[in-house]
Amino acid sequence: MKPFEAVGRRACEYAASMRENLAFLGETTVCALSILARPRRFRLGDSALAFERASFDALPVTTGIGFLLGLILAFQSAAALKMFGVEVYVSDLLAIALFRELGPLVTAIVLAGRTGSAFAAEIGAMKVNEELDALTTMGLPPVRFLVMPRVVAAVAAMPILTIFAELAGLIGGAIVLRMMNVPPSVFWRHVADVSTVFTISFGLAKGAFFGALVAIVGCAAGMRTKSTADGVGRAATSAVVGGIVSIAVADGLLAYLCYLWNI
């Protein structure tokens, strides 16, 4: 009976974890609505500090990955389109892929690995040191005091990081096409032709949504940290894994909805 007992125990653990996550999501939603009703209760200074760490400190990594992504996509797609003599349409493919899908997705994964884990580690260390209990004792809700500033910072940082990643990717693609004797003016004209306001806005909105997911998952992992020697490390790992899985699931659902609505 040991295998069945292990499966049952693991199922119960997953059910309890899901219940805790839903409860945390509901508490965060209620807190966000209360802040909208009373904006003065929002801790703007803490949010600005978290925004600086999540956005400006992450720009070099995000820009570098976006540049390499543009180079790789341009090389791979040009190898196929070169057989038909239409290498110039690599610019169209690159712009649509970056603006609609790859720009927000890759940036969100970087944010999950860099910022989501930091959120979990910070809040987890505070829980281990019993600082969360002290906040609750003083009548300060930890969700409003710690979680909401980080969620707002991640939501605000993601569009900025996405824009820089997309621009870096386009520059990488322009360099590749210039090596294939495609003038930069032709490349940027094709990019401008396929880059509609809706395409760019949709990608930025998707990035902001991914940022909210990363922040909520990271803060939830920090709030569930156990007071053990490896508790903070496990919380950071859970934040990264949970954030990436959440991004992948949400991106798949959005892609399916776009297909249904013919967007």
**pLDDT number for residue 182:** 84
Residue among 151, 207, 187, 139 at smallest CA distance from 33:
151
**Structure token pair of residue 222:** 């920090």
Confidence of residue 229 (pLDDT cuts 50, 70, 90): low
Spans of all domains in the chain: 45-260
Q: Work out the mean pLDDT of the chain and round it to a whole number.
A: 88
Residue among 263, 262, 219 at smallest CA distance from 242:
219
CA distances to 25, 36, 119, 175 from 32, rounded to whole Å, are: 10, 6, 18, 44
**pLDDT number for residue 175:** 92
Report how far Cα 177 is from the mean position of its chain's Cα atoms: 30
CA distances to 72, 107, 143 from 69, rounded to whole Å, are: 5, 11, 36
Residue type, 139: G
The rounded distance, in Å, linking the Cα atoms of 161 and 139 is 36
For the segment 44-62, what is each residue's pLDDT rounded down to a tens digit?
888 888 898 888 888 999 9
Contact 94, 73 (CB under 8 A): yes
Residues ≥6 apart with Cβ < 8 Å to 29: none
42: left (phi over 0), alpha (psi -120 to 50) or beta: beta
Contact 148, 140 (CB under 8 A): no
- Looking up tokens 């297909």, which residue turns up? 259
pLDDT value at 4 more than 80:
no
Residues ≥6 apart with Cβ < 8 Å to 223: 24, 123, 127, 132, 142, 147
Mean pLDDT for 194-202 is 90
For the segment 108-160, what is each residue's pLDDT rounded down to a tens digit?
999 999 899 999 999 998 888 888 888 888 877 888 888 999 999 999 999 99
For the segment 168-192, what is each residue's pLDDT rounded down to a tens digit?
999 999 999 888 888 889 899 999 9
